[in-house]
Amino acid sequence: MLRTEDFIKARLYSSEEAVIQDGLRYLLQARPELRLELAVHRYQNEDISLGKAANLAGVSFEQMKEILHHRGIHLRLGPETREEAQAEVDALRG
């Protein structure tokens, strides 16, 4: 069984986090469907933008919009009310 500490002891990686990040990167390259599912999950639950979700999924902005629409997921494409828009303007003004 492989252990992250074996990679560190062999001086292949400097930390456990580096081993895990590299492993996750390769996993997502080998299984692109996981990238899409992760992007959809994060869009729904972590409030990442549509652009960031598309980047994570490895698809275009328009493709991501279509994927989310087909799954019945509400798109967040800007403020929905005047108050939300004003709050964004106020936040930008600092």
Q: Name the residue among 72, 17, 15, 5 with its Cα closest to residue 40.
A: 72
Look at residue 18 in the predicted model and tell me its pLDDT. Answer: 97
Q: In this predicted model, what pLDDT tens digit does every residue of 21-76 receive, in sequence order?
A: 999 999 999 999 999 999 999 999 987 889 999 999 999 999 999 999 999 999 98
**Contact of 71 with 40, CB cutoff 8 Å:** yes
**Contact of 43 with 36, CB cutoff 8 Å:** no
DSSP 46: S
Look at residue 83 in the predicted model and tell me its pLDDT. Answer: 81
Look at residue 87 in the predicted model and tell me its pLDDT. Answer: 75
pTM: 0.70
Look at residue 90 in the predicted model and tell me its pLDDT. Answer: 77
